[in-house]
Amino acid sequence: MRGMDAVAVEALGDRVLGPEYKSLPSVAWGRTAREFLATAPYLEDFATPVLTVERAALDSNLAVMADWAAAAGVRLAPHGKTTMSPQLWAEQLAAGAWGITLATAWQAQVARSFGVARILLANALVDPVGLRWVAGELRRDPGFEFVSWVDSVPAVEQLEQCLPAGARLPILVELGGPHGRTGARGLDEALAVADAVSRSERLELAGVGGYEGALAHDRTSDAVGAVRRYLDELVRLHGALASRYERPAIVTAGGSAYPDLVVERLAGLADEQGAQGIPVTVVLRSGAYLIHDDGFYSGISPLTAPHTGRPLRAAMHGWARVVSRPEHGLALLDAGRRDLPFDSGLPVPQRVSSGTKVPPGAAVSALNDQHAFLRLPAGGEVPVGSVVRLGLSHPCTAFDKWRLIPVIDDAEAARPRVVDLLHTFF
């Protein structure tokens, strides 16, 4: 298994299941995941609410993104925090991913426990405990590659103080943008950070990085223009530092909303012969593509119909049961904020298991902790006890609510078959 410990990933199938796994049927308790799957369960054997991932959509999305990145001439280091599922990381690496991106030292520790060999930490690691662990891991395993970010001179000073003598940590200077998230504000500040990294005995200047998704949230001309201006500034920063890199350089950007703009502005930097003698790898960090969605990303990603002939597909769905019809025009479902994402759009009713079509105009208007309010048009019916399939938005805040996620063969099937179980680590 490329870039991971195949034995550790396979061992997840030997985990004993129990009631700590939400919605898992009691007949699975006491069995290993592998033993339970051998019984060929159906989705209907699980309690509601439940989150599922569709196998066919996963396979399609893996191939679409791998081919798209290869054609664009960039490398892919998908953001592992989206799923925190080592099984899915292994599939992404096997499909050609350059590495796995993570956001915290703890997430990196999970990845290392499954043998991930190259980690890009898209964050400033200034926690002393985390830094000592990274230094120790690099010393223990010479084949392990770890690259982190920094966005200020005080952060560089913190790294200097906390890294043990003899440690050598590759660092990317992070460029931010106005009203964005982290990152040096402007070229002058970023260059000052690079100067501090270059002076350090424990750090190596390894490139530049940033996140354009914090600067825009739609495809209006103003939003696209803001993203392009930011990426152009990142290119200028790289150009100003190109002669100072001490090792093969990395230029990285890219969430799942604007990967086309990242490729448009950055892909030309990739040069196998090396810019000014230093090879440059352009790394795209998109994370949501594998699961995709029926909400935010379906509306903003360039890899959706009609923009491409090979679109990404929503691989995740929620399944919730009607538990109450307390008044006309209202059905209460048994899934809420503890089960389904809601930060980038509410769930969308798509289908009813009873054979009843979702009435046109039906919509989820709100989520409580354990309930969804499904508003129905006049005459609309969804019987108590029926199960509603829900389209979801934002996989990052869907997976974090589930420690075990059933993988089904076909979300459109009358009786979806459960073909795998995904373990998550949140």
**Chosen domain end from 264, 284, 304:** 284
Do residue 323 and residue 277 come from a single domain?
no
The CATH code of the domain that includes 185 is 3.20.20.10
Give dist(CA 378, CA 376) in Å, integer: 7
Do residue 124 and residue 270 come from a single domain?
yes
* 373-400: average pLDDT: 95
pLDDT at 272: 55
pLDDT at 388: 97
Give dist(CA 184, CA 197) in Å, integer: 14
Give dist(CA 63, CA 150) in Å, integer: 33
In a domain, 72, yes or no: no
Do residue 124 and residue 260 come from a single domain?
yes
- Give the lowest-confidence range in 176-180, 292-296, 311-315, 348-352: 176-180
Do residue 253 and residue 180 come from a single domain?
yes
- Give the lowest-confidence range in 33-42, 249-258, 311-320, 335-344: 249-258
Nearest-CA neighbor of 16 among 423, 320, 303?
423
Burial label for 11, CB within 10 Å (0-12, 13-18, 19+), is: exposed
Do residue 349 and residue 274 come from a single domain?
no
Q: What is the pTM of this model?
A: 0.96
Do residue 268 and residue 297 come from a single domain?
no
Under a CB-based contact definition with an 8 Å cutoff, are residues 93 and 2 in contact?
yes
In a domain, 47, yes or no: yes
Do residue 298 and residue 419 come from a single domain?
yes
Rg of the chain over all Cα atoms, to the nearest angstrom: 23
pLDDT at 275: 54
Number of helices (H) and strands (E), helices first, in the chain? 12, 18
Q: What is the mean pLDDT of the chain?
A: 95
In a domain, 16, yes or no: yes
In a domain, 359, yes or no: yes
Do residue 309 and residue 419 come from a single domain?
yes
Do residue 196 and residue 269 come from a single domain?
yes
Residue 391 lies in domain: 1-54+292-425
* 392-403: average pLDDT: 98
Q: Which of the four pLDDT bands, split at 50, 70 and 90, describes residue 11?
A: very high
pLDDT at 357: 80
Give dist(CA 267, CA 264) in Å, integer: 6
List, for residues 67-107, the tens digit of each pLDDT value: 999 999 999 999 999 999 999 999 999 999 999 999 999 99
The CATH code of the domain that includes 394 is 2.40.37.20
List, for residues 168-212, the tens digit of each pLDDT value: 999 999 999 988 899 999 999 999 999 999 999 999 999 999 999
Q: Which of the four pLDDT bands, split at 50, 70 and 90, describes residue 276?
A: low
- DSSP codes of every residue in 301-348: -SSSTTT-SS-----EEEEEEEEEEEETTEEEES--TTTS--TT---E
In a domain, 236, yes or no: yes
In a domain, 77, yes or no: no
In a domain, 339, yes or no: yes
Q: Which of the four pLDDT bands, split at 50, 70 and 90, describes residue 247?
A: confident
For 259-291, b/e burial (b = at least 16 CB within 10 A) is: bbbbbebbeebbeeeebeebebbbbbbbbbbbb
Asked if residue 1 has pLDDT above 70, the reply is no
What's the gap between Cα 405 and its chain centre? Answer: 16
* 295-316: average pLDDT: 95
Give dist(CA 349, CA 361) in Å, integer: 10
Q: What percent of the chain has pLDDT over 90?
A: 92
**Chosen domain end from 230, 251, 284:** 284
**Chosen domain end from 252, 284, 316:** 284
Do residue 365 and residue 331 come from a single domain?
yes
Q: How many domains does the chain have?
A: 2
Asked if residue 366 has pLDDT above 60, the reply is yes
Do residue 129 and residue 268 come from a single domain?
yes
Burial label for 19, CB within 10 Å (0-12, 13-18, 19+), is: exposed
* 222-226: average pLDDT: 96
Do residue 303 and residue 256 come from a single domain?
no
Asked if residue 385 has pLDDT above 60, the reply is yes
In a domain, 273, yes or no: yes
